Amino acid sequence: MSIHISAKKGEIAKVVLQPGDPLRAQYIAENFLENAKLVNKTRGMFYYTGMYKGKEITVGASGMGFPSIGIYSYELFTEYDVETIIRIGTCGGYTTDLNLFDVLIVENAASESTYAKFAWGIEDEIIAPQGPIFNTIQETATELSINVKTSNVHSSDIFYRKDPNIPAIATKYNCLAVEMEAFGLFANAKHLGKNAATILTVSDIIPTHENISADDREKALKPMIELALESAWKSI
């Protein structure tokens, strides 16, 4: 057990899929894994371990923002010997070059956050995925004929802001979309020498105020979930 995760040693797999929402973790476990077992429900953050095509995979929530994913990914890496975390989530498109339901593989995460600097002394304001899992996801997308886009994203500490304009850092690094966790995950993995990647589904187009309806959301996320599971399976 760690401070925030009550699973016992051996109950969490070496590869973890990490959505933000605990209910999304539950949905994936119940619909994509065999013999899924709930191994953590502390603070309502559900973690399930089950089998996917004969290999053990864990899916569990990160919560929202760097402080939350920073805690959970760090404890997974250090207390449970997890080798690879694939974040799966949604993002808002900064540009109409993106469409609802597009699947993005994050090439770099840029952020104004002080998380990496004060946690690990990492001064970079842009951090890449860590380890070979990024390439595995790209190769798997091609094999599965899943149409993906590879893009830089803006990882923001802020969901609501006074200034409606695209933040300067997103323009600087040509970030097509915004989310709130990838930079923190990549920073932890870089510091610890672990593997980490992020796959996102575009759920909102910010300039046009388009968004995926609640009814369509689970269906919309299916290609991303399948891509993450197949990539995780290959990495084991």
Q: Strand, helix or coil at 186?
A: helix
Q: Report angle CA 210, 216, 222 to the nearest 5 degrees.
A: 110
Q: Catalytic one among 97, 157, 204, 216? A: 204
- DSSP notation for 22-42: HHHHHHHHHHH-EEEEEEE-G
| Terminal C-alpha separation, the chain | 23
Q: What's at 144, amino acid-wise?
A: L
Q: What's at 65, amino acid-wise?
A: G
Name the nearest CA neighbour of 116 among 160, 63, 155, 81. 155
**Under 8 Å between Cβ of 61 and 20:** yes
Instruction: Look up 204 and say whether it is catalytic.
Output: yes
**Under 8 Å between Cβ of 66 and 177:** no
Cα distance between residue 64 and residue 123, in whole Å: 23
Q: Strand, helix or coil at 45?
A: coil
Q: What's at 23, amino acid-wise?
A: L
The kind and range of the H/E element at 109 are strand 103-110
Q: Which residues are part of the catalytic machinery?
A: 204
